[in-house]
Amino acid sequence: MAAPVRMSRRQGVPDVPARPVITDAAEHGRFEAHLDGELAGVLEYVGKHGRLALVHTEVLPANEGQGIGSALVRHALDHARQSGLRVIAVCPYVQSYLARHPEDDDIVVGRAGGPRHDV
């Protein structure tokens, strides 16, 4: 489902939904998505032994349906790839995202299509 289109103050001109700013709040073990400076969602993780376990994704109710969860997962996967980490998809939302994006199977532990690696 597409994000809702908001109308700008200029009548009839749709606003483009804001893109979240995503940061690594490593001290809290999570990636954070912010919209207009406000926390919009998080993706909690545990990193060790060359692995990044993605354990829980949560988007604040006011920000649901705006692609925040997908942006968080995409950021986490890009981070893992750039850092040479393997991903363990614990979170059901992350698992669902990966089912729609098999191009990332090569860095995911235990996914069909990717190389076999024991956890």
3-state secondary structure 48-85: ECCEEEEEEEEECHHHCCCCHHHHHHHHHHHHHHHHCC
User: Quick one: tokens of 11?
Assistant: 């009548």
CA 52 – CA 58 distance, rounded (Å):
17
pLDDT number for residue 112: 57
pLDDT number for residue 12: 52
User: b/e per residue, 71-99, with b = 16+ CB within 10 A?
Assistant: bbbebbbebbeeeebbbbbebebbeebbe
What fold does the segment set 18-107 form as a domain?
A: Aminopeptidase (3.40.630)
CA 42 – CA 75 distance, rounded (Å):
11
CA 18 – CA 117 distance, rounded (Å):
38
pLDDT digits (tens, 9 = 90+) for 48-80: 999 999 999 999 999 999 999 999 999 999 999
pLDDT digits (tens, 9 = 90+) for 9-56: 445 545 556 799 999 999 999 999 999 999 999 999 999 999 999 999
Extents of the domains making up the chain: 18-107
